[in-house]
């Protein structure tokens, strides 16, 4: 995180940190929770202006809808936390080609978006043949793998070798 945060971004960060404080410690792992992982690897994304090109989808389908949109249109898929009505929510959205958040599932866009980008291949594997479309960050048995650092977001892949995004497991 570079620069000065606005009020919404500050509130979002405090909310994520507060959620993290309610987690039980996990011994011998690099990340204690989803919140810890997102705080360590995430970034803020400005909101894109909603256009007719991005039609509003059904509420409460953020992960499925955003994953499908990313795969269909080649947009970047993100997960993390978005602030709405002063509350941080685990959320999924896409990024336009200028790195701005495209949120097609909330009637009113969030006030701040903080999360990690995912490689489209990771999204494809996550959805698999069953077309599972829940959170990439919060799906057992994938969930413990975050803490073991066995997958990488696309921003980590660009800094690391060409190793697989996801090693081990299905």
pLDDT tens per residue across span 37-61? 899 999 999 999 876 666 667 767 8
pLDDT above 70 covers what percent of the chain? 72
So where are the chain's domains?
A: 7-159
Q: What is the 3-state secondary structure (H, E, C) of 60-116?
A: CCHHHHHHHHHHHHCCEEEEEEEEECCEEEEEEEEECCCCCEECCCCCCCCCEEEEE
Chain segment 54-102, per-residue pLDDT in tens: 666 776 789 999 999 999 999 999 999 999 999 999 999 999 999 999 9
């Amino acid at each position: 995180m570079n620069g000065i945060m606005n009020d919404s971004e500050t509130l979002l960060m405090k909310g994520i940190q507060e959620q993290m404080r309610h987690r039980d410690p996990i011994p011998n792992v690099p990340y204690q929770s989803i919140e810890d992982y997102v705080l360590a690897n995430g970034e803020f994304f400005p909101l894109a202006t909603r256009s007719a090109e991005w039609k509003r989808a059904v509420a409460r389908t953020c992960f499925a809808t955003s994953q499908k949109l990313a795969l269909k249109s080649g947009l970047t898929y993100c997960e993390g936390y978005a602030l709405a009505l002063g509350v941080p929510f685990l959320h999924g959205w896409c990024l336009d080609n200028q790195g701005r958040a495209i949120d097609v599932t909330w009637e009113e866009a969030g006030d701040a978006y903080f999360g990690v980008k995912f490689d489209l291949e990771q999204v494809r594997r996550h959805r698999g043949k069953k077309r599972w479309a829940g959170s990439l960050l919060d799906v057992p048995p994938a969930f413990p793998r975050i803490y073991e650092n066995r997958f990488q977001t696309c921003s980590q892949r660009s800094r690391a070798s060409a190793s697989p995004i996801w090693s081990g497991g299905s």
